[in-house]
Chain A
């Protein structure tokens, strides 16, 4: 670790603390993620290993780069490319207004990163504004791949942020196993709305029940017709039949009609009806630039 000068703590990841640091040789600023080791029989946590080997293979503009892994004094430290802020902090700097160009650029980059990951058979599974980093050039990068595919739902909760339900799709809230790209697409839809509204979350539920109610109040309660076999999901329970009271143009007033159309294709309760990343990138919202 002699190679890096530790500067300040910048956050808490799925399995360890993150520091800002400077490479003594090159002067480059990096992010160091210290991997916590538990005293059980596991050695390096699977989640950390997963992140290491996945990011080792994923090299894309919109995916955070893993530069190095350093081992010293029985600790493992992952060295990442440094980004100035995450999307959440970016929202805070906006004073409540997001201009439509920026919103579209962020969404485009999010989908490009996702499409690349999905093409490599990698699901992120924990997309949220805190996991989307933005560097000084406005480039968005997917980060925090610590949720191992084998585990699905967050394994351990180190902070309230990890357990946030806000970006979790209804199928997962009903206990479905996470084996499909559709989980990331739902989260992308929620983030899309939040971006358009300069940081106001779309479905800020307090618990699983409240989360599902908020979703169904906006999208209508799914039925066996709209979502075959929904009642078979492990944690399924019936909800009252809600009818949407707000229109999409009321919910995302700054988004044009094409953007609203894309959002509705992402936010489909039935996972098999959700658009995938590649199709979303081909959507008219990105190609027709005349009406922002």
Chain B
């Protein structure tokens, strides 16, 4: 399904402008300030990454595939909370279910729900000092939530990620500009792409813009931003969008750096509305 992003449901339904995005979260902004909300999403992305990569159930697979599953899952999670608020469905349940669903859609080795939940129960207290809500631990909850997720996501389960365009751009740069230690640049830019899961750029920009922005940020972080200036100036792309995207990635890094997860996650979680596991759909 790599063929055409512009005709995809991703392009047609899941790229928002900032006002739309803010409006879609108005319920949750009553409980959280914008900054808290942004931090909270950093936590959820970190949490999903941990559940996916640090557990008993993780098969010895190559990490690139695993990253794609995580990226898809985090996207499901973010899209879900564009349509629904935290009080509609427990984010722990949504995050586990997103991972479960992404594994199937990305044709990753299907994971069993039981081992998933077991893993979550271990990771939460260990990494964030948060007790695991035992009402979560019923497999049936995830099965029910899966239905809800598919419905709220409007069956748009195929997600386009910036990694593929990033690879194309990197190949192009490597052909046209002689950069030393190219593999380090490559690794740095992919790391930035993966980090962008912690902010909203995936909901605001098409993947190729995020890829270019990640190139800019990646090279600048290495102090080598100048070296791709020439290449950038020859690109025919909406440069305002790239600048906007770059800006948001830096904001996310700043926020993430100042985010003391051990301390603040508990506070954020305490603000979550007390809700039933399953909403009435």
Is chain B found bound to chain A in the same assembly? yes
The answer to whether B4 has its CB under 8 Å from any CB of chain A is yes
Give complex CA distance A49, B101 in Å.
Answer: 9
The answer to whether A120 has its CB under 8 Å from any CB of chain B is yes
Q: Which of A142-175 contact B (CB under 8 A)?
A: 148-150
B1-26, CB under 8 A of A: which get 1 and which 0?
A: 11110011100000000000000000
The answer to whether B148 has its CB under 8 Å from any CB of chain A is yes
> Which A residues are in CB contact (< 8 Å) with B3?
119-121
> Which A residues are in CB contact (< 8 Å) with B2?
121
Q: Which of B70-109 contact A (CB under 8 A)?
A: 100-101, 104-105, 107
Give complex CA distance A76, B8 in Å.
Answer: 23
A49 adjacent to B157 (CB under 8 Å): yes
Give complex CA distance A42, B143 in Å.
Answer: 8
Q: Which of A37, A44, A74 is most buried by chain B, counting CB atoms within 10 A of its CB?
A: A44
Q: Which of B129-184 contact A (CB under 8 A)?
A: 139, 142-144, 146-148, 150-151, 154-158
Q: Which residue of A lies closest to B151 (CB)?
A: A71
Give complex CA distance A52, B105 in Å.
Answer: 10
B114 adjacent to A41 (CB under 8 Å): yes
Q: Which of A34-57 contact B (CB under 8 A)?
A: 37, 41-44, 46, 49-50, 52-54, 56-57
Contact partner of B105 among A41, A53, A66, A119, CB < 8 A?
A53
> Which B residues are in CB contact (< 8 Å) with A74?
143-144, 147
B4 adjacent to A120 (CB under 8 Å): yes
A43 adjacent to B107 (CB under 8 Å): no
B147 adjacent to A56 (CB under 8 Å): no
A71 adjacent to B105 (CB under 8 Å): no
The answer to whether B63 has its CB under 8 Å from any CB of chain A is no
> Which B residues are in CB contact (< 8 Å) with A49?
101, 104-105, 150, 157
> Which B residues are in CB contact (< 8 Å) with A243?
none
The total of Cβ contacts below 8 Å across the A-B interface reads 73
A53 adjacent to B155 (CB under 8 Å): yes
> Which B residues are in CB contact (< 8 Å) with A121?
1-3
Q: Which of B107, B114, B144, B281 is most buried by chain A, counting CB atoms within 10 A of its CB?
A: B107
B150 adjacent to A69 (CB under 8 Å): yes
Known: A49-B157, A56-B157, A150-B107. A41 touches B150 (CB 8 A): no
Q: Which of A43, A44, A66 is most buried by chain B, counting CB atoms within 10 A of its CB?
A: A43
The answer to whether A252 has its CB under 8 Å from any CB of chain B is no
The answer to whether B69 has its CB under 8 Å from any CB of chain A is no
A57 adjacent to B9 (CB under 8 Å): yes
Q: Which residue of A lies closest to B156 (CB)?
A: A56
**Smallest CB–CB gap between B268 and chain A, Å?**
29
**Smallest CB–CB gap between A117 and chain B, Å?**
10
**Smallest CB–CB gap between B191 and chain A, Å?**
27
A57 adjacent to B114 (CB under 8 Å): no
B105 adjacent to A43 (CB under 8 Å): no
Contact partner of A43 among B7, B143, B151, B156, CB < 8 A?
B143
B147 adjacent to A71 (CB under 8 Å): yes
> Which A residues are in CB contact (< 8 Å) with B104?
43-44, 46, 49
Interface on A for B, CB 8 Å cutoff?
A: 37, 41-44, 46, 49-50, 52-54, 56-57, 59, 66, 69-71, 74, 76, 119-122, 148-150
**Between-chain CB contacts (< 8 Å), 29 pairs:** A37-B143, A41-B112, A41-B113, A41-B139, A42-B110, A43-B100, A43-B104, A43-B113, A43-B146, A44-B104, A46-B104, A46-B110, A49-B105, A49-B150, A50-B105, A53-B155, A53-B156, A54-B1, A54-B158, A56-B9, A56-B158, A71-B147, A71-B148, A71-B151, A74-B143, A74-B144, A76-B150, A119-B3, A120-B4
Interface on B for A, CB 8 Å cutoff?
A: 1-4, 7-9, 100-101, 104-105, 107, 110, 112-114, 139, 142-144, 146-148, 150-151, 154-158, 281
3 closest residue pairs by CB, A with B: A53-B157, A71-B147, A41-B112
